[in-house]
Amino acid sequence: MELDLSPKLAKKVYGDDGGSYYSWCPNELPMLREGNIGAAKLALEKNGFALPRYSDSSMVAYVLQGAGVAGIILPESEEKVIAIKKGDAIALPFGVITWWYNKEDTELVVLFMGDTSKGHKPGQFTDFFLTGSNGIFTGFTTDFVKRAWDVDDDIAKALIGNQKGKGIVKLDANVKMPEPKPDHRKGMALNCEEAPLDTDIKNAGNVVLLNTQNLPLVGQVGNAMCSPGFSCDSALQATYIVKGSGRLQVVGVDGKWVLETIVKAGNLLIVPRFFVVSKIADPGGLSWFSIITTPNPMFTHLAGSIGAWKAISPEVLQAAFKVPAETEKLFRSKRTNDAIFFPPPN
């Protein structure tokens, strides 16, 4: 069966005045199911409020646009209320309850990617809402709500029926929401655009790798994140194009070309384990965010100063390529200063 690796755009699942929720479907992007990876986007308008929820999967949230407030409640822990902005990565382990709010004029857009191997549907997140028309309260009869929360009949009916919104609502401008606390951000979020660079190649590009060292909760999520980056590695990775455009090629088993395409902002694609991927940015540049299915990945690069070719003996390369020594020396002499990213040719 031929693999379909072509990038896809997300489709709207639900939403109203306050914003919308989008998701990638494993029926349209089979590698989601194959790799047990889920992907979705939340877009909130001004005063948009994503109602409290928990998911059947651990995931990573990455703020693509705007600024806002997130509430995060880890199991048996107090609520953390943090300010979020473009470039923030937030690890969301199993059992975490979250809510999201945008009080700014600019739309707040948050990307979610994560592991669905323990979820209800491979390749797709399932959210469970605490409130709203599809919240857990609506599934219980009034007498159960009264007994569980020790409230009277009127309160129980209000808890069950007052919130008619589903998933996302728009709050009145005068509604007061919790203010973020600066000390709550520590260990909960890391801004990829402000973090120290793991790789920075002049006139070419840079990489920020998030792992258990700089964002400890990643270990509970089970995915490492890289933004933006270039990798030729042995891990299955899901990549979302944040901005810009460019050409992408993927080579698989037996050296067969399996994909050549133009990628642009909003595209999601998944590269299987051990397949080799390379990208060439258009003049306007290309940025992406990836999750890799291990908390502390190891990369093998096939070109540049840290490329695997540099470690192979000259005699072995000559025999393997079936070329004379002069050709092998010329090949080895190239890309001695650039690693991972290569500047445009003069």
Answer for the pair 93, 118: CB distance below 8 angstroms, yes or no: no
Q: Does any domain span residue 79?
A: yes
Q: Is there a single domain that holds both residue 259 and residue 244?
A: yes
Ramachandran sector of residue 73 (left: φ over 0; alpha: ψ -120 to 50; beta: rest): beta
Residue 227's pLDDT is what?
A: 36
CB 68 within 8 A of CB 102: yes
| Cα three-residue angle 161-167-172, rounded to 5 degrees | 75
Per-run averaged pLDDT (10 residues), the chain, 346 residues: 82 95 95 92 97 93 96 89 95 90 97 92 94 89 89 90 93 93 90 72 60 63 42 64 89 80 94 78 86 59 47 72 80 56 48
User: How many domains is the chain partitioned into structurally?
Assistant: 3
pLDDT of residue 195: 73
Q: Tell whether 103 is covered by a domain.
A: yes
CATH of the domain at 294: 2.60.120.10
Of the candidates 286, 279, 270, the one whose C-alpha atom is nearest the C-alpha of residue 232 is: 279
Residue 276: per-residue pLDDT = 76
Number of residues in the chain: 346
Domain that holds residue 331: 301-345
Supply the pLDDT for residue 234.
46
Q: Is 138 exposed, middle or buried (0-12, 13-18, 19+ CB in 10 A)?
A: middle
Q: What is the DSSP string of 211-247?
A: -TTTSTTHHHHT-EEESS-----SS-EEEEEEEEEEE
Cα–Cα dist 296/35, whole Å: 18
Do residues 182 and 207 share a domain?
A: no
Same domain (yes/no): 36, 116: yes
173 lies in the same domain as 222: no
Q: Is 260 part of a structural domain of the chain?
A: yes
**Residues 98 and 142 grouped into a single domain:** yes
Pairing of strands 189-191, 168-170: unpaired
Domain-located, residue 2: no
Give the span between the Cα atoms of 64 and 256, in whole angstroms.
34
User: Residue 153 CA to chain centroid, in angstroms?
Assistant: 43
Are 260 and 223 in a shared domain? yes
Instruction: Give yes or no: residues 162 and 216 share one domain.
Output: no
Distance CA(277)–CA(7), nearest Å, equals 13
